Structures are given as structure tokens and as C-alpha cells.
Amino acid sequence: MRYPPVSLHRQSNILLIRSFMLLFLSCVTIRIKLCFSSIPYTLKALPLDGHFNFDEVHLAAKDFGNRYQFLPVAVLHPKSVSDIATTIEHIWQMGPHSELTVAARGHGHSLQGQSQAHRGVVINMQSLRGPYMQVYPGNSPYVDVSGGELWINILHESLKFGLAPKSWTDYLHLTVGGTLSNAGISGQAFRHGPQISNVHQLEVVTGKGEVVTCSEKQNSDLFHGVLGGLGQLGIITRARILLEPAPDKVKWIRVLYSDFSTFAIDQEKLISAAENTFDYIEGFVIINRTGLLNNWRSSFNPQDPVQASQFKSDGRTLFCLELAKYFHLDETDVVNQEIENYMSQLSYITSTLFLSEVTYVEFLDRVHVSEVILRSKGLWEVPHPWLNLFIPKSKIQDFADEVFGKILKETSNGPILIYPVNKSKWNNRTSAVIPEEDIFYLVAFLTSAVPSSTGTDGLEHILTQNKKILEFCETAHLGVKQYLPHYTTQEEWRAHFGPRWEVFVKRKSAYDPLAVLAPGQRIFHKAITFS
């Protein structure tokens, strides 16, 4: 088929349109290049106590997850809160004509690039020099700390006054701002709640560069929004953390179960007890692990060595209940009697009772010992495709049957934590998202992938396994919520927040309307316009 010839007039119009489009695109390209090339110069001109680094930015383009790498244009090393405020205010004033965003990076322990900012500015929060840590003892003791301070340093400083924070994470080499932007949970959460339930006051730099002091009574909407807010509403630059009298020693106990239902019943019994049974309650899953009890003998002692030596764990899925009781040295006999009484009410395998007595610091900093070992073997900086879930109590048996009984068949390349917490210890005004039931479980698959492996310990296999777990949770309608969540679309984030989405969006609009902050979370995207 032949087409009619195009008229000369029409040809000239087409050429004119094409020329215009080429010119327009060239201008946009030039404008973008000019915009990007001018970014370092505008940042260099800012009056700061600290400094920017525009060359050595590669460290800020990686995190503990070791799966995503997004290069920023600059890394800010602040010495004062005003450095952070000045930088963010400058980017805010640049408006939507700049694609610059800002991410706060503490110890870089994020898993999915949440502390990174592609072609943006990463703030090294550990460079923040002020305010200096100060402990306030008294009837309601607390400690004032920088948002970039590590929890391990807070522990050592507060212990000088015989005090310590109430709630912890399992790993203490994390920053205050990082854990408070998520929740901060460990085996103390059943009693004291997460770390975000143990904060008096915050100082926050919003997405407009405003420095705001907030608490339950002062600027409370920002206070609650920032806690568990995934860095979306402001950067935590100072926190006032609740303290309590610290113990001298810890009785550390592990026992095993072969039946999940019995294991869960005992865990729930302990966290619901009217009297204070234990100070720390966690659990973990052991799949097809041989010689298990022999691995514990370096730090735990069996109550009955003969029975323990006869126990065979090969090929079975087992569930370990881990407990801790804090005490002072003059309470040793009383505490021993209490523990014996509590343990007599539980239905664990009697031959698997292992005990240890350690200092309070040794117990709380226990994960760091594993870190040192893994680093020495070159196994720390590997991909960590972790999956952390909150699961309602009513669905935990269904979850266990499918996941531990069918989906996971090989030995896990990393611990699998599982323990219940009480919803009553969480403040529902914060941004943290949890299930609706009074008791829910944390289940954390803390796997490490072996680089270049194509086997069951390889990254692709672990990611496929995680996907199967999530797909089951969705099809079975378990009402699961992700902890340290990661989604790629706003529709998924909307589903994650559920009925609380509108409140979160309203807070975002109020405190970070240009979506400058925490781009690595992939919740909101800065709209760029070129006029």
C-alpha cells in the first residue's frame, strides 16, 4: 500500500516541531547539568562549624544490608545541631527546582538503603559533637544524649551513676536517632515497651530546617510522629532517655522445646505474669542443627551434665526459650530460689536447662562478641537480607506450622528470633505500626548471605525464601506487619499503615512538605520541577 505524499507545508511544520523539541530537551539537559554542577558550590558557601566532604562519599553509599549502593553528592560531618538545620533549611529554600534530599546516617545499620540519599546529602550523625551526654540522677532519672550517640556509650556512662536505660535493642552499637526512628525492641519490651516508649523529650530538625523541642506536652504531634516515623518527619538530634537503677549481675538461662505450641504457651505465660518473673524474655528457632548443646558449653553450664550429654538434637526443629534475671550481689540466694520456682512451672525438656552468670554489661553487649568473631573471619560485611515481622498471637501457630514446618527446611544461616510482646506497653500515638491484638510476636529472620554462593546460603535463595514467607502471610490473611519495613510503592506503604496512613501523610505535609528527608525509605518522592 502506498501512502499519499506529505505536503511541503506539513513537512516544514514537522521539522519545526522536531527542532523545537530538540532545543527544549537540550535546554532542560543543560539546566539539569548546571543545577547539579552548582550544588557543591552552594553547599560549600554555608556557614558551618563542621564540614562537607564531596570526594569520600562511598562509605555513605552502603549499609549493613550490603545490597544497595546509592552515591550522595556530599556527606555532612556536623559539629553542631545548627549545621544540620542550616543545611536542611538551605535545601528547603532551594525548593522543588533541586533534587537534593537528605538522609541521616548513624551507624549505617539499615538493611535496604534507608540511610542513603542518591545524589543527595548524607549526614554523618556520629560526627555531631553536641549536646554532650549528661546523666540526671534523682527520683525520675534520665540522660540527655545526642541523636548520633551509640547505646553502648550510654550504657557505660549511665552505669557510673548506678543507672541504665530500661529498654534495649539486642545490638547496642546503634545510634539513638536510628533506633528511635524505628522502635527499638529486645527482650525487655514485654515489660517496658520499646525504646520509643521510654523517651521524655526530643530535639528534632524538620524538613524545613526548623529546630524543635518536643515532648508529650510540647509539640506533641511532632514528638509522637517522629518516634517510629522512619526519619520521614525530622532528624532526631537530641533525646532525653528514661533511666532506672542498674543491676550488678544477670542470671542467663536457655532451655529447649520440641513442640512449638508448648513453647509459645510458656512464653505468653511469662510475659503475662502478674509478678515480675524475668527481666528479659526472648526465644529462637533452631532448624536441623547438630551438636547444639556442645556449642553452648563455652558460656553456659548444664544443670544436669549427664542428662544434657544424652540429649540428641539432630534433625529436629527445636525452640529455645532464653531468659534473664537481673540482680544485685546481696540478692543471689533469693534470686536463685525465685528462678527455681519459675522454671518449675514451665514445660521445657528438662535435660536442656543451661545457665550462666554474667555481668550486666556482658549480657547486654553479648551480640558484639559475635560481631568481633565474624569480622575476624570476614563474614560481617556480607549481604544481610533480614526479614522482621510482627505477627498477632492468634495467628502465630499457623505461621509456625507453615514457615518452620514447610518453607524452612535447611539450617538457617543466621538466628531466627521469636518472642511475644504486650501491646499495652506501646504508645499508639507514635508512627510505629503494630498488629491490633493485645499480644503479638516479633519473628526476625537474621540471615547472612555467602557472597557468590548459588546454594541455600546464597542471596537469591534467601530472598526467594523471604518472598515465600511474605506471600503465605498475605494469602493466609495473618494480619502481619513488617518491622524495619521495606516497600517499593506507595500503595504498599498505604497498606502497611492502614487506617493510620492519612495521619502519617498529614504529618509529612506539615513537617517535610517537599519530601526532603529519608528518601531511602521510598515512601514519598520529592517532586522536581524545572521552570
Tell me the residue range of the domain where 433 lies.
249-482
Beta bridge partners of 144: 134, 240
**Phi and psi at residue 408, in whole multiples of 5°?**
-95, 115
What mean pLDDT do residues 8-22 have? 46
Is 220 found in the same domain as 118?
yes
Closest to 323 measured CA to CA, from 258, 420, 252: 252
Contact 81, 50 (CB under 8 A): no
Is 173 found in the same domain as 75?
yes
Q: Classify residue 446: in a domain, yes or no.
A: yes
Q: Classify residue 227: in a domain, yes or no.
A: yes
The residues annotated as belonging to the active site are 109, 170, 282
> Look-up: residue for cell 494469602?
475
CA trace torsion 131, 132, 133, 134 (10° rounding): -90
Is 441 found in the same domain as 526?
no
Is 438 found in the same domain as 392?
yes
Contact 159, 168 (CB under 8 A): no
Q: Classify residue 411: in a domain, yes or no.
A: yes
C-alpha cell at 506: 498529614
Contact 313, 255 (CB under 8 A): no
> pTM for this structure?
0.91
Is 212 found in the same domain as 84?
yes
Span 47-67, pLDDT tens digits: 999 999 999 999 999 999 999
Does position 117 have pLDDT exceeding 70, yes or no?
yes
Provide the 8-state DSSP code for 209. S
Is 311 found in the same domain as 182?
no
CA trace torsion 196, 200, 206, 210 (10° rounding): -170
What mean pLDDT do residues 456-473 have? 96
Rounded-to-integer distance, Cα 263 and Cα 205, Å: 45
Provide the 8-state DSSP code for 482. E
CB atoms under 10 Å from CB of 310, counted, come to 9
Is 63 found in the same domain as 169?
yes
Q: Looking at the 3D structure of the chain, how many domains does it have? A: 3
Span 31-52, pLDDT tens digits: 444 344 567 789 999 999 999 9
Does position 452 have pLDDT exceeding 90, yes or no?
no
CB atoms under 10 Å from CB of 493, counted, come to 20
Q: Alpha carbon of 199 to those of 169, 194, 506: distances in Å? A: 15, 10, 23
Is 226 found in the same domain as 200?
yes
Q: Classify residue 4: in a domain, yes or no.
A: no
- What stretch of H or E contains 109? none
Closest to 448 measured CA to CA, from 374, 368, 372: 374
> Look-up: residue for cell 506536652?
217
Rounded-to-integer distance, Cα 520 and Cα 31, Å: 25
> Look-up: residue for cell 506450622?
401
The chain-wide mean pLDDT, for the chain, equals 91
Higher pLDDT, residue 374 or 170? 170
Does position 408 have pLDDT exceeding 70, yes or no?
yes
- How sure is the predictor about 530, in pLDDT bands with cuts at 50, 70 and 90? low
Task: Residue 164: give its domain's CATH number.
Answer: 3.30.465.10
Residues shown for the chain:
531
Query: What is the 3-state secondary structure of 271-307?
Result: HHCCCCCCCEEEEEEEECCCCHHHHHCCCCEECCHHH
Span 180-235, pLDDT tens digits: 999 999 999 999 999 999 999 999 999 999 999 999 999 999 999 999 999 999 99
Provide the 8-state DSSP code for 141. -
Is 335 found in the same domain as 307?
yes
Q: Residue 132 has what pLDDT?
A: 85
Contacts of residue 247, Cβ cutoff 8 Å, sequence gap at least 6: 326, 327, 328, 360
- How sure is the predictor about 15, in pLDDT bands with cuts at 50, 70 and 90? very low
Q: Classify residue 2: in a domain, yes or no.
A: no
Is 524 found in the same domain as 421?
no
Span 301-345, pLDDT tens digits: 888 888 878 788 777 899 999 999 999 999 999 999 999 999 999
Query: What is the 3-state secondary structure of 295-351?
Result: HHCCCCEECCHHHHHHCCCCCCEEEEEEEEEEECHHHHHHHHHHHHHHHCCCCCCHH
Task: Residue 332: give its domain's CATH number.
Answer: 3.40.462.10
Is 381 found in the same domain as 292?
yes
Is 205 found in the same domain as 98?
yes
Rg (CA), the chain: 26
What mean pLDDT do residues 13-25 have? 45
Rounded-to-integer distance, Cα 471 and Cα 334, Å: 49
Rounded-to-integer distance, Cα 280 and Cα 252, Å: 9
> Look-up: residue for cell 552552594?
42
What mean pLDDT do residues 24-28 have? 41
Contacts of residue 84, Cβ cutoff 8 Å, sequence gap at least 6: 76, 78, 123, 128, 205, 235, 237
Q: Classify residue 265: in a domain, yes or no.
A: yes
- What stretch of H or E contains 475? helix 459-475
Q: Classify residue 195: in a domain, yes or no.
A: yes
Q: Classify residue 1: in a domain, yes or no.
A: no
